[in-house]
Amino acid sequence: MANFPTITIEGVSVPKALIGINSLLGWSHTSGGRDEWIRKYFTAERIAEVFAHCIKLGLYGVLGPVYPKLHDAIKLAEDKTGQKMLFISTTFGDKKTTRDQVRQAKEIGSPICCIHGGWTDGWEVKDGKLVDFEKYLTMIRDEGVIPGVACHNGDRLRLVDQGGYDCAVFVIPINKLGFYMNPSKESTLDAVKNCSKPVIAIKPLASGRFDEGRPAEWLKWTIDTPGVSSMVIGFMNEEEASEDINALKNIFGI
């Protein structure tokens, strides 16, 4: 199995490439019909098959929400391959259940849990501070899990990074197109470049909107972006995984 380079987040070794889950759980950022089909087709068993293939090629880390189908798929892939997966989790659903979500994540071995991007994007701001935001990060820390923050907005990343919050890592979209990079591609790139914590880039292929036949170029662009420490790549099947993981091996010189 190939050894991908890693970064360290509070003692946790995190590969510079991780598996994404939107195209396996039904958040394709394309159409409702596609999402419905994905949710019907991709059982936990089928997701586990994709994960097992990724593990065989050297990719064993996954970033995704506290979500039962994903938990089941991780366990199935681990049983199938004998390889422990690294699960970097994000919160999901109702903020009132945050502590329970973190406990679920911890039970399946997630060492890092991030506040969900949708939460962070819409969080109330008063006098330049995110209202009660630290309380939720403390919930994560109190459960013995490393807290992080996901968002889809460079200004929010900067606000958290400069606000003295207990946040060990950020997760944010970074891609050539500027897809989901709010309020603008330029402001997000500037926030990431000047961020004091590791940044994990998501959506490097802009949810399928990359130039035809050029995923390798887009992946390299993202990982080479100043401030980016790791990135997450989604695969819908073993063939896509093979293509992109082989491209990653070339990028990292493996």
User: Shortest CA distance to 233 belongs to which of 206, 204, 198, 208?
Assistant: 204
DSSP state of 42: -
Residue 1, domain member (yes or no): no
Domain count, the chain: 1
Strand intervals (E) in 51-97 = 61-65, 86-90
Burial (Cβ within 10 Å: 0-12, 13-18, ≥19) of residue 97: middle
Of all residues in the chain, what percent carry a pLDDT higher than 90?
A: 83
Residue 210, domain member (yes or no): yes
For 36-62, what is each residue's pLDDT tens digit? Answer: 988 888 899 999 999 999 999 999 999
> CATH code at 202?
3.20.20.100
pTM for this structure? 0.94
Tell me the residue range of the domain where 110 lies.
Answer: 6-252
CB contact set of 14 (below 8 Å; sequence gap of 6+): 6, 7, 8, 61, 86, 88, 112, 198, 200, 230
Beta bridge partners of 89: 64, 113
Residue 39, domain member (yes or no): yes
